Amino acid sequence: MPLEPTLPFSGTASKIVSRIELLEKVRSLRESGQKIVFTNGCFDLVHAGHIEVLENARNFGDFLIVALNTDRSVRDIKGPSRPLVPEHRRARVIAALSSVGAVTLFDDPTPYSLIADILPDILIKGGDWTPDRIVGSDIVLGHGGKVESIPLLPDSSTTLLIERVLERYRSGGTT
């Protein structure tokens, strides 16, 4: 079931849309001949690696859609201590990026049904995913689209960032 987030933000928060609003936007973009790019993730603590992937993803087409796992979905994937940042705040950060055209939340374990509804022209994930393992690649390839895996920025992951913070604080560091 799609979630309809209520967000207490303005400005770029208008990029945060429900599934229904997103499908209407995609229809309009297609009618004007624009190429739709899709990626997804948790984006718990946004870091340079995320920015690198999102900026590169946008270069593959005209309009980048980012589907964000809901808090429940992140807990199911990453465990009970995650996410660190609530979904409405994660969505707000991603929506603030100029490379991102729209952000939507999904509560399923994967965005498979969302990809089936959108039928993006290009499906993208970070380089830790090979194209054959990217959820929805069968759908996108089946309708003539492309699937891309973008190289990751070395030593840049949310898990690594969390580990560094914990290590510094365990050793008495305060900065």
Kindly tell me if the per-residue pLDDT of 63 is higher than 90.
yes
Helices (H), the chain: 19-31, 48-58, 71-78, 87-95, 112-118, 137-142, 158-170
Both tokens of residue 30? 């297609």
Strand partners, 40: 67
81-116 pLDDT tens trace: 889 999 999 999 999 999 999 999 999 989 999 999
93, 66 Cβ separation under 8 angstroms: no
Q: First and final CA of the chain: distance in angstroms?
A: 42
pLDDT of residue 9: 45
Integer Cα distance of 100 and 44 in angstroms: 16
156-173 pLDDT tens trace: 676 677 777 778 888 776
Q: Which CATH architecture has domain 11-170?
A: 3-Layer(aba) Sandwich (3.40)
pTM for the structure as a whole: 0.85
Exposure string of 87-112, with b = 16+ CB inside 10 Å and e = fewer, is bbebbbbbbebebbbbbbbbeeeebe
103-151 pLDDT tens trace: 999 999 899 999 999 999 999 998 888 888 999 999 999 999 999 999 8
